[in-house]
């Protein structure tokens, strides 16, 4: 089962594609794909529902693609928050977006959803 969630484009900044791509060693894997058409510095972070930082990256490239594996036990629910902050190199204008990624680990019928907050 593949879930693809995209949101509307606003002010020439596109939203990422966040989708379930399968499991590895019975743990779910999701992909973040992001392409900005502008000269931006992108800050990306993933936190758990308690606010602990699990991943952080800062990049100057236009295209970003990375898979993430969720460390959750079988049949366990999970909630993660993906935050993307775009800073335009020329105007210094910032755009911050937060996405809730939630699901349940179940290899026979994975449950995965993304909500833009």
Phi, psi angle pair for 99, to nearest 5°:
-125, 135
The CATH number covering residue 78 comes to 2.60.40
CA distances from 15 to 29, 73, 109 (A): 20, 29, 27
Does 2 reside within a domain?
no
pTM to 2 decimal places: 0.80
Does 21 reside within a domain?
yes
Site of tokens 């502008």: 38
For a pLDDT cut of 70, what percent of the chain falls above it? 85
Number of domains in the chain: 1
* Mean pLDDT for the chain overall: 83
Does 5 reside within a domain?
no
Q: Which domain holds residue 24?
A: 14-116
Does 106 reside within a domain?
yes
- Give the CA-trace dihedral at 32, 2, 7, 17, to 10 degrees: 20
**Regarding predicted confidence, which is higher, 107 or 57?**
57
Does 99 reside within a domain?
yes
């Amino acid at each position: 089962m593949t879930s693809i969630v995209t949101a509307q484009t606003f002010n020439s900044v596109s939203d990422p594609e966040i989708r379930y791509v399968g499991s590895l060693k019975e743990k779910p894997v999701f992909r973040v794909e992001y392409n900005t058409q502008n000269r931006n510095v992108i800050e990306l972070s993933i936190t758990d529902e308690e606010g602990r930082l699990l991943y952080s990256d800062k990049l100057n490239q236009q295209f970003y693609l990375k898979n993430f594996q969720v460390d959750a036990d079988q049949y366990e629910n999970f909630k993660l928050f993906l935050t993307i902050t775009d800073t335009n190199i020329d105007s210094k204008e910032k755009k911050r977006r937060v996405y809730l990624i939630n699901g349940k680990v179940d290899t026979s019928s994975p449950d995965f959803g993304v909500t833009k907050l």
